[in-house]
Amino acid sequence: MDAHLQKFTSPQQMKRPEYQDMALGLVETLSFPAIVGTADMMLKSAGVHLVGYEKIGSGYCTAIVRGRIADVRLAVETGTDTAKQFNQFVSSLVIARPLPNLEYVLPISARLSQLASSGGHSRLSNQAVGLVETRGFPAMVGACDAMLKAAEVYLASYEMIGGALCTAIIRGSVADVAVAVEAGMLEAERIGELNAVMVIPRPLDDLEQTLPLASCWIEETRQPLTLPVNVKETEKETVKLPNFQELPQYVEEEQNYL
């Protein structure tokens, strides 16, 4: 028994993590929009870092923050109050000094080592965030369609957290996002079940980097979208799509957008 314990805790097997002295804070909710809004308030209330979210199914989502013990306690307290205001609070926890075993096994510190060197932002950075969560995929798709048609917003990604809960994530100006979210709510309720909504006017960098983003919006890998051309429904032969980057109109619009 002692030999197994000595082997498990050997310095060669488990070195001291760089962020071991940082306290750990957890707040759990029953909705993805609620956890994003909760994390936003936690970041803005204290000097903590958002490690990310842990989604365990059935709609349960946990925001994980690290920092000094005083900051983590304040952030968790604020996050708990925020989640309760959304009527989505499940539980919360503060651990002053997590042991190395926790650091290595649980997803509570891996992203911290990348925060200092991470400077990349998507082309949607510094724009407001809108989240509409539905129970059922058709309701989310319908909400997405309504939001895109109601205002000048972009569908950044979507998130599924179990329990049939799907969240559409849009970006744009604060005014456009607010109008779009309202339209998405109405359409989701018409089609199926609306579960939660959230609008975050100005996300901080930590929050920005934890939000899912569709690959077409990542500048480093973004390629022209393959759009359909005018083809008669009776035609069944393969049609070669043009290279949109070579079209003068496309290049001019791309330059104006950037």
Domain boundary assignment for the chain: 23-112, 128-217
Asked if 23-112 and 128-217 have one fold, the answer is: yes
Q: Give me the pLDDT at residue 230, please.
A: 47
pLDDT tens sequence for the chain (258 residues): 444 444 444 444 445 445 557 899 999 999 999 999 999 999 999 999 999 899 999 999 999 999 999 999 999 999 999 999 999 999 999 999 998 888 888 877 766 655 545 554 555 667 899 999 999 999 999 999 999 999 999 999 999 999 999 999 999 999 999 999 999 999 999 999 999 999 999 998 888 888 888 777 665 444 544 544 443 443 444 445 555 455 555 445 445 544
Q: What class has domain 23-112?
A: alpha beta
Q: Give me the pLDDT at residue 2, please.
A: 47
Q: How many Cα atoms are found within 13 Å in the side-chain-facing hemisphere of 64?
A: 17
CA 42 to centroid of chain Cα atoms:
15
Q: Give me the pLDDT at residue 100, please.
A: 84
Give the H/E segment covering residue 29: strand 23-29
Strand order in the sheet with 128-135: 154-160, 165-172, 128-135, 193-200
What fold does the segment set 128-217 form as a domain? Alpha-Beta Plaits (3.30.70)
